[in-house]
Amino acid sequence: AEMHYLKDYRPFDFELKSTGLDVSIHGTFVDVTARLVMERRQDGDVQAPLFLHGEDLEILGIWLDGRLLAPREFLQDGQGVTFFDVPVSFELVTKVRIFPDTNTALEGLYRAGSMLCTQCEAEGFRKITFYPDRPDVMAPFHVRIEADRSLFPVLLSNGNPVKNETLPGNRHAVCWEDPFPKPSYLFALVAGDLACQKDFFRTADGRDVQLAIYTEHENANQCEHAMVSLKKAMTWDEDVFGLSYDLDMYMIVATNDFNMGAMENKGLNIFNSKYVLARPETATDGDFEGIESVIAHEYFHNWTGNRVTVKNWFQLSLKEGLTVFRDQQFTADMQSASVKRIQDVRSLRARQFPEDAGPMAHSVRPEAYLEMNNFYTATVYDKGAELIRMIHTLTGPENFRSGMDLYFARHDGKAVTCEDFVAAMEDASGADLSLFRLWYAQAGTPVLHVTTDWDEGKGRLTLHLRQDIPDTPGQKNKKPMVIPIRTAFFSRSGEQVLLDYRGKKDKEFLLVLRSKEESFVFDGVSLPVVPSLLRGFSAPVRLRIPLNTEELAVLLAWDSDPFNRWEAGRMLVERTFRQLVEDHRAGRSMVVPEDVIAAFQAVLENADQDPALAAEILNMPSEGELYHLLAAEKIAVNPLMVHEVREFFLDALARPLKTLWERTWYACRTQGAYVFRAADVSKRRLKNLSLFWLSRFPDTGFGWVERAAEEASCMTDRMAALQLAAHFHEEGSRRMLLDFEREFAQDALVMDKWFQVQALSRRENTLARVEELMGHPLFSMKNPNKVRALIGAFASGNPFRFHRKDGAGYAFLAERVLELDGLNPQVGSRMVSILNAWKTFEEPWRSEMKKALMHIRKKEGLSSDIREVVDRALA
């Protein structure tokens, strides 16, 4: 593999008129015949040779306009095949053999249990056949699949089925036609013995669309929630964006072997079964939420991604940022908007901010990549969604909708760029987004410094704003960005006050910072006020504003923006934590101030007003989140110290609130059958948060966990209790874990949870237990869900036990990464990224992490996926 640069982008010199695929499935191999009708583009390089991508393909024959080519008539290398002499218009037929059974990378065509399925994004189609495997080459597809009828009764591809054939030797074939021209990354094929759940959806203009969810037979009864979610998503996209589905069939296939969450192949989504299968006895509220949002995300791609696709992979955020924004809005409408926003921002800070501050930092529209699979990142997805959200804020909802309409009117059926999207928004809204475009090009999280000046005599308040954008690898001295800042003010007694800004009286303002520094002046401020800035997290920046405990307590209790209530709680916790860290380092005794405790006590006392929000506010930052907090302030992370200080802080907060937590636990017990609905979800969250706090008390803690486990009647409650039990002594958890294992040994997804709770245990011997569990008959390094459940959960979800001072956690991870390098580099690369933050740690952790990275780098023939990450981490 070689580096790819955005600046080198050139359109393809040929036009692909149509693609015909004939896929013949046999015992250990699959033969793929591709029929490509092509024409040289007159506006291109008329001398250019024809290059088709192709990797790991065994050539059986190549025909140009019906003539079998001799091997000297083309040139094959590791990347593909080149033809130096092709006519202006021609038909090229290639026949190749591939081996899905040995494809452990799960990219291209691979075996997943008893079925065969594909994953082509980003550059996997080239492992199926020779092809211009780039998203700006689109064609209508005609696909014929042939296989043994008993082993593979179900044969699926994109579009509509047009023909069935019965063949000799118990074989059969099905033909599929996809009338919408598409790039190769949206191709899909599935063959297997699958159960099918059917339903239908009537579109706004009265067409009936057949909906079908395919699973293994034993899971056929677990698709209802996915089906309901799909219909909700279809309705929502019609209501909110006026977008209807376009084919006669919408199919979803669930597989246990999948590298990511799901894939939006045209008309035939392929899903990690984790995001399809659910019932109350086996799935948690989190699982139900995940399914609803991923089903919606993939469905929304039909317009933002498929009908309008990307010109090249540098534009990935064009479809991903926009589709994440759409799925976020959908979930906000279906569930609780404030909780959704809080959770998304929390995840942005935990995943994207560190990425933006680390060795893999890249802009939302990256400039270069070695391995495209490494750029399916929090930056492209989640920061990309924040950019769309800022455009939404800057233009307003109606203009945003007009911008979307214009975007589709201009670009339907085309492969376009992020710039095309911004231009459509600009043209439809009349807003000037010229400076805003920098967000797509500049990496790094801006720091927004705010100071206030109150002239009591004049009744005038001035906000001084300044932005600093940190240097990132390859980018220095950046230009100021456009930062939309939703702003309001509160009196000390919690009233939102009416102020005068540029002659206009209002209770909320949208301030837009466009330069490095700017001051905003408000009049009519006769009493002291508390500013509430960046409401709803209106820009992905780090806000630095000196508010004292009293002011934060006002916002925590009274802010009319639920997000900023939560944010005030966070600021309070973070400030207290930093103070405790300083005390700890200076050898002073640590004290949690009474007014901090009182502020949180008030939240708990009033929890019944908004249980969902209270649960978010009272859910304290994890150790991992605290590492990031320190790293952002350039304080080297000492995992032992973070653990000790956090435990001290939690104890100090738990003690005075004990009876309140007991009351809350009882008050949140729900009666009746499990229903996945917002009100019940938030009660269960608050109940299980109570249990978390109650479990901390040394003498009574385990009793609470046992009681909760006994009366748990849905998986949400069972997992909450089991996770807490797993932190206790061997005797405490062994019995529960054994019972759980016996009950669910047959259910792969539930067993993932079983592996995960043990990997997340705070017990001292967790690393040894994780190593032991690798030998469990149900564990497999070849299954990404298992790797994530055990190794991923341990290394990224259990920082205290992973970051051992002796480096044993890192050495363990390094060996797993080397193993994955030979099996599944995509998953291996995600695992090794956990070490990217090594420079933010204190010694000896820092050197031990570096040592693990160097050990990995020593391996010869390292995959491009892992090499790119390791090289950048060590650069």
Contacts with ligand HT7 by CB under 6 A lie at 119, 121-122, 259-260, 262-264, 297-298, 301, 320, 373, 376, 826
Task: Choose between 285 and 327: whose C-beta lies nearer to Zn ion.
Answer: 327
Kindly write out the interface string for residues 306-335 of this chain, putting x where it contacts Zn ion by CB under 5 A and - elsewhere: --------------x--x------------
Question: Residue 517 forms beta bridges with which residues?
Answer: 466
Task: Choose between 723 and 863: whose C-beta lies nearer to ligand HT7.
Answer: 863
User: CB within 8 A of 815, min separation 6: which ones?
Assistant: none
Task: Choose between 308 and 581: whose C-beta lies nearer to ligand HT7.
Answer: 308
Residue nearest to ligand HT7 as judged by C-beta position: 260
* Contact criterion met (CB below 8 Å) for 343 and 246: no
- Alpha-carbon distances of 710 from 645, 663, 719, rounded to whole Å: 33, 19, 12
Q: Pick what 260 binds: ligand HT7, Zn ion, none; C-beta below 5 to 8 Å, kind-dependent.
A: ligand HT7
Smallest separation, CB 288 to ligand HT7 (Å)? 19
CA distance 407 to 140: 22
Q: Pick what 376 binds: ligand HT7, Zn ion, none; C-beta below 5 to 8 Å, kind-dependent.
A: ligand HT7
User: CB within 8 A of 734, min separation 6: which ones?
Assistant: none
8-state DSSP, 472: B
Smallest separation, CB 438 to Zn ion (Å)? 24
Alpha helices, DSSP H only, in 560-607? 562-585, 594-605
Which of 323, 209, 221 lies closest to 263, judged by CA?
323
Task: Choose between 297 and 478: whose C-beta lies nearer to ligand HT7.
Answer: 297
848 given a catalytic annotation: no
C-alpha dihedral, 179 to 183 to 184 to 186, nearest 10°: -70
Q: Pick what 695 binds: Zn ion, ligand HT7, none; C-beta below 5 to 8 Å, kind-dependent.
A: none
How far from each other are the two terminal CA atoms of the chain, in whole angstroms? 19
Q: Pick what 534 binds: ligand HT7, Zn ion, none; C-beta below 5 to 8 Å, kind-dependent.
A: none
Smallest separation, CB 107 to Zn ion (Å)? 17
Q: Pick what 25 binds: ligand HT7, Zn ion, none; C-beta below 5 to 8 Å, kind-dependent.
A: none
Smallest separation, CB 136 to Zn ion (Å)? 18
Place of tokens 């970051």: 803
Task: Choose between 301 and 696: whose C-beta lies nearer to ligand HT7.
Answer: 301
Smallest separation, CB 122 to ligand HT7 (Å)? 5
Task: Choose between 34 and 262: whose C-beta lies nearer to ligand HT7.
Answer: 262
Interaction with Zn ion in 460-499: which residues (CB under 5 A)? none
Task: Choose between 182 and 301: whose C-beta lies nearer to ligand HT7.
Answer: 301
Strand order in the sheet with 529-532: 509-513, 483-491, 529-532
The helix (run of H) or strand (run of E) holding residue 24 is strand 14-25
Smallest separation, CB 183 to ligand HT7 (Å)? 12
Residues touching Zn ion, count (CB under 5 A): 2
Q: Pick what 23 binds: Zn ion, ligand HT7, none; C-beta below 5 to 8 Å, kind-dependent.
A: none
Q: Pick what 657 binds: Zn ion, ligand HT7, none; C-beta below 5 to 8 Å, kind-dependent.
A: none
Question: Residue 687 forms beta bridges with which residues?
Answer: none
CA distance 821 to 136: 30
Q: Pick what 386 binds: ligand HT7, Zn ion, none; C-beta below 5 to 8 Å, kind-dependent.
A: none
Smallest separation, CB 29 to ligand HT7 (Å)? 23
Task: Choose between 13 and 382: whose C-beta lies nearer to Zn ion.
Answer: 382
Task: Choose between 301 and 803: whose C-beta lies nearer to ligand HT7.
Answer: 301
Smallest separation, CB 584 to ligand HT7 (Å)? 42
- Angle 257-259-261 from CA coordinates, rounded to 5°: 95
How many residues would you count in the chain?
Answer: 875
- Alpha-carbon distances of 71 from 74, 76, 129, 798, rounded to whole Å: 6, 9, 17, 55
Interaction with Zn ion in 810-829: which residues (CB under 5 A)? none
Q: Pick what 448 binds: ligand HT7, Zn ion, none; C-beta below 5 to 8 Å, kind-dependent.
A: none
CA 647 to chain centre: 30
Beta strands (DSSP E) in 276-358 are 309-310
Around Cβ 669, how many Cβ atoms within 10 Å?
12
Smallest separation, CB 448 to ligand HT7 (Å)? 29
Give me the helix-helix angle, 766-773 and 748-759, nearest 10°.
150
Smallest separation, CB 555 to ligand HT7 (Å)? 35
Q: Pick what 856 binds: ligand HT7, Zn ion, none; C-beta below 5 to 8 Å, kind-dependent.
A: none
Kindly write out the interface string for residues 203-222 of this chain, putting x where it contacts Zn ion by CB under 5 A and - elsewhere: --------------------
CA distance 92 to 85: 12
The DSSP bridge pattern shows strands 517-523 and 529-532 to be unpaired
Could you give phi then psi for residue 837, rounded to 5 degrees? -85, 15
Catalytic site residue from 55, 107, 292, 298: 298
Smallest separation, CB 121 to ligand HT7 (Å)? 5
Q: Please, what's the b/e burial string for 235-260 (b: 16 or more CB within 10 A of its CB; e: otherwise)?
A: ebbbeebebbbbbebbbbbbbbbbbb
Task: Choose between 133 and 320: whose C-beta lies nearer to Zn ion.
Answer: 320
Task: Choose between 123 and 559: whose C-beta lies nearer to ligand HT7.
Answer: 123
CA distance 263 to 279: 22
In terms of Cβ atoms closer than 10 Å to its own Cβ (0-12, 13-18, 19+), residue 66 is exposed
* Contact criterion met (CB below 8 Å) for 669 and 614: no
Long-range contact pairs involving 471-475 (C-beta distance under 8 Å, separation at least 24) = 471/444, 472/356, 472/357, 472/361, 472/362, 472/443, 472/444, 473/359, 473/361, 473/872, 473/875, 474/367, 475/363, 475/442, 475/443, 475/444
8-state DSSP, 103: -
CA distance 160 to 688: 47
Around Cβ 683, how many Cβ atoms within 10 Å?
18
Give the 3-state secondary structure of residue 551.
helix
Q: Pick what 307 binds: ligand HT7, Zn ion, none; C-beta below 5 to 8 Å, kind-dependent.
A: none
Which are the catalytic amino acids? Answer: 298
Please give the residue ranges that form the binding site for Zn ion (CB under 5 A): 320, 323
